[in-house]
Amino acid sequence: MKFLDVTTDYAFKRVFGSENSKPVLKAFLNAILEYEGEHAIADLDIVDPYQVPAIEGMKDTFVDVKAVLANGKHIIVEMQVLNVPGFEQRVLYNAAKAYAQQLTKGDDYTLLRPVVALTLTDFDMFPDHAGYLSRFKVMETQRLTTYTGDLELVFAELPKFTKPIEALTTATDRWLYFVKHAGSLKMVPEALRQEPGLATAFDMAMESALSPEELEQQHKRFDFIRLQRGSMAKATADGLAKGRAEGRAEGRAEGRAEGRAEGLRDALLALLDHGMDEREARHLLGMERSGAR
């Protein structure tokens, strides 16, 4: 038995954003966002459910999963594997866009419903913070009172989640373990079998449920991510080395910027060489709003 690596965009959307994902996504959100009791999600609709495509040239690879809860709240879920320039701004932009686009001309502002942007990262988003879950709201800086609860950013940093399977005690733990480790498991661990929604999630992540074409697509996604990470790491290291050699603050800053830009260019060219549409490749790398070329 073998499962997909759920940190890749293809597998993530297959598990959480397809036509049959509603019970899985509901259980996942209740666990990660810690919605319990009267606050638990009763029902939701997945917006533009992901259809497993007859893929040609890596089409339809956007990572967002969007849902509207029964109470009107909007949820955006994203799995991000690369820490690309402009990513922090992109998260905020997408959340603000989801909030603003609820209204059409002439609509009353009281019709606006809250938006939660849940982002899972396969890198350290906040290196100075040891916790793997972070929540942000618009607050007054002195009194720490909330201005409005209508916009909330939630981050789950997978590298910081290091609990072994025997230490899993909460639904949040079990779902994060699934997302981080599913691709390396050979069977469903006993500790995860009774968690609501997880059995279905494992079924949807089974490689045997994919056609040969879909499985090839998943393997390509994994190879692309590995290639992008390698290209960006090497180019960034080269840029840092150049900046250090120059021995000036200006040189170090320029070297870092040049290294990251070169890494993005290499990753973009690799995606294009493998047939991905340029617009989608730039979206995946976060280049469409970062100004990277």
Task: Report d(CA 113, CA 120) in Å as an integer.
Answer: 23
Residue with tokens 């996604």: 221
Instruction: Give 233-290 pLDDT, tens digit per residue.
Output: 555 555 556 555 655 555 555 556 666 676 677 667 766 665 566 776 676 666 654 4
Residue with tokens 């290291």: 237
Instruction: Give 141-192 pLDDT, tens digit per residue.
Output: 999 899 988 999 999 999 999 999 999 999 999 999 999 999 999 999 999 9
The burial of 271, by beta-carbon neighbours within 10 Å (0-12 exposed, 13-18 middle, 19 or more buried), is given as: buried
pLDDT of residue 56 exceeding 90: no
3-state secondary structure of 247: coil
Task: List the structure tokens of 293.
Answer: 């070329």
Task: Report d(CA 148, CA 146) in Å as an integer.
Answer: 5
The burial of 128, by beta-carbon neighbours within 10 Å (0-12 exposed, 13-18 middle, 19 or more buried), is given as: exposed
Average pLDDT over residues 124-135: 94
Task: Report d(CA 78, CA 64) in Å as an integer.
Answer: 5
pLDDT of residue 231 exceeding 60: no
Average pLDDT over residues 114-136: 95
One DSSP character per residue, 166-177 reads: GG--SHHHHHHH
Q: What is the pLDDT of residue 250?
A: 54
| Pick from 49-58, 77-86, 201-210: least confident | 49-58
Q: What is the pLDDT of residue 135?
A: 96
Nearest Cα neighbor of 45 from 77, 72, 64 is: 72
Buried residues in 89-102 as b, exposed as e (16+ CB within 10 A): ebbeebbeebbeeb
CA end-to-end span of the chain, whole Å? 42
Nearest Cα neighbor of 271 from 233, 221, 230 is: 221
